Amino acid sequence: MERFDELVRVMAQLRAPEGCPWDREQTHRSLRPYLLEEAYEALEAMDAEDWPRLCDELGDVLLQVVFHAQLASERGDFGVEDVCEKIVTKLKRRHPHVFADSVADTPDEVIDRWEKLKREEDGYQERESAVDGVPAILPALQRAYKLQKRASRAGFDWPDISGPRAKVDEELREVEEAEGQAVEEEVGDLLFAVVNLARFLDVEPEGALRGANERFSRRFRAVEEQAGGSERLREMDLEEMDILWERAKAEEA
């Protein structure tokens, strides 16, 4: 804990009157973008399996937690000790099969118990819907996934994968038939249906799309290189570009 305590002391010194002018003027609101940015950079390091970089990025995420706790402490709201105490208490309460005498032998049993215990906690009783509490600020793809999981736990779900698979086909047809402003709505329904299909396949769609983005970026750069640059690529027809694309895929494989 010595290193963590040192981090807390350094953060307090940065916020002190004789500390850093930039750190002293920050607020919870001004720091919001950094919390998201650091979390995404940590995810990027995970996806790349770059463990030294992940160590560095997790430090940046931890800094944001300590920074917000320091701001709250200065206002008299709470301190970093309270943050640690709350999460330790929550972990112990939601893992009675480890810290008490309950039994849970499978991951599914753990999840079921976790959800039951959450519903018994303060604040959860006031929720009127199973989908209450899914943050609206989440990326749309991730929020769709969480909304569907909440609805599924309430019993609102297809019995098997044939349902979401057929729904994707249905929504695709509706996109093709839509006109005007209805196109955007139908494309949204199609994306939502694809997320549902991913859920049935035990695929987390946000991570799957991040992977697809990286593959596209990597392969497109290879296509540009084979073509002799982006200017030369613009002069090619679709068939020529497709040949380069398939070659890039094959070389990657």
Task: Please state the domain extents for the chain.
Answer: 2-92, 95-126, 127-203, 207-252
End-to-end CA distance of the chain: 45
How many CB atoms neighbour CB 83 within 10 A?
A: 16
pTM of the entire predicted model: 0.68
Which token pair is 110?
């753990």
Which CATH number is associated with domain 127-203? 1.10.287.1080
pLDDT at 110: 83
pLDDT at 154: 85
Angstrom distance (rounded) from CA 101 to CA 108: 18
Angstrom distance (rounded) from CA 146 to CA 140: 10
Q: How many helices (H) and strands (E) does the chain have?
A: 13, 0
Classify domain 2-92 by CATH architecture: Orthogonal Bundle (1.10)
Domains 2-92 and 127-203 share a fold: yes
Residues of the chain with confidence (pLDDT) below 50: none
pLDDT at 123: 60
How many CB atoms neighbour CB 253 within 10 A?
A: 5
pLDDT at 4: 96
pLDDT at 112: 78
Which token pair is 11?
């953060």
Total residue count of the chain as it appears in this document? 253
pLDDT at 108: 79
